[in-house]
Amino acid sequence: MRAILHVDMDAFYASVEQRDNPSLRGKPVIVGGHAQRGVVVAASYEVRPFGVKSAMPMARAVKQAPHAIVVKPRFSAYAEASEQVFAIFERYTPLIEPLSLDEAFLDVTASVGLFGAAADIAKRIRKEIAHELNLPASAGIATAKFVAKIASDLAKPNGQREVRPEETVAFLAGLPVSRLWGVGPKTEEAMKRAGLVTIGDVAARDAAWLEERFGASSGKHLWELSHGIDARDVVPDRAAKSVGAEDTFEEDLTGTEVLKPHVHAQALRVARRLRRASLKGRVVQLKLKFADFTLITRRTTLREATDDGQVIYRAALELLERAHEGKALRLTGVSVQLDEDEAQLGLFPAAAPKSSKLNEAMDRIAARFGSKAITMADIAGAEASDDDHHRSEKPVDKPKR
């Protein structure tokens, strides 16, 4: 019987801001960009009763909660906190599947004998995050990823919920079909027309009936999920096909010089994750989302596999300079695709590059003192600029000019 955790940080970006600025604690906080053009990146629980939520246009959020305090995002601070959270995860299992900066699946099946029941492991993880990082987290515990994810959602904020195998069908039964993975608005509407409003309605039908109406693959998928059947494994970086990092900007950015520090920081984050998992890759990919939401990817293949952030950055920068074309961007991302062949050691492995000792030293410093303890000059300059903006933020009814 598997033991799967889904750990999700609560209002992560907003919680980091409230932690770092005590004057914001207990107050309605919106993390976002320009009051008229940007979108809400995160909303504290204090502002959510007013209908404010992530991805909402800032203009609408400000209208609904005029008393809220708006702070500009500090993505470097969130990335650092994320690395510290994942370091706590690694104390309990190497089987960690990151979903984003602030959530992950953990397979603790093999950890139960050492640390106790899965629910106890979840409690320990949440307690250590709260004690060491002063941040709240919620957790779901189940035998399947799908169920664990829903359990953590329902446990928010700052709680946990365990769904035992014998409780799974009853736990899911009363939830709307929109909770089923893969069910979007169109499929939900089709299911409602077929009389399927809750997950329990789906579970009550035969698999053959569902396959006849929604197709063999989709019908089987819906039936299995309605019974809590989800055989997908937790896929850690070591078993993943690629390792990446990306950031959405609070305001569109234009110009290679402005974008360089962000791409550089992403390359370094990817490299640290590669080294942590003892992985290397040859294919570097750059992801760009423009102001009009057009999404493109560009990639290049290196002569040798690498886990060096500077090598990855130089490759990503070349891609950026060719693909950017001076257009405004709202997102950049850097990833390295892994080749199974690279996991195999050659008969006569090449000598480690000179940069490996520097990377090892930087990793040790970051692990002990945090990722901001040592960094590159261009990234430090960009972070200092972000901190200046952060310190000058005011309540939304007195916007900064």
- The domain spans of the chain are 1-163, 169-227, 242-341+348-379
Say which CATH architecture domain 1-163 belongs to: 2-Layer Sandwich (3.30)
Catalytic residue among 17, 46, 83, 103: 103
The pLDDT tens digits along the chain (401 residues) read: 899 999 999 999 999 999 999 999 999 999 987 666 677 889 999 999 999 988 788 889 999 999 999 998 888 788 889 989 999 999 999 999 988 889 999 999 999 999 999 999 999 999 999 999 999 999 999 999 999 999 999 999 999 999 999 999 999 999 999 999 888 888 999 999 999 999 999 999 999 999 999 999 899 999 999 999 999 999 887 667 888 888 877 678 888 888 998 899 899 999 998 898 888 999 999 999 988 888 999 999 999 999 999 999 999 999 999 998 888 898 899 999 986 654 444 434 445 565 665 666 655 655 555 555 555 555 545 444 444 433 333 333 333 32
Report the distance separating Cα 59 and Cα 64, nearest Å: 9
**Domain 242-341+348-379 listed as CATH 3.30.70.100:** no
The fold of the 169-227 domain, in CATH, is: DNA polymerase; domain 1 (1.10.150)
* Binding-site residue positions for Mg(2+): 8, 102
* Binding-site residue positions: 8, 102
Catalytic residue flag (residue 103): yes
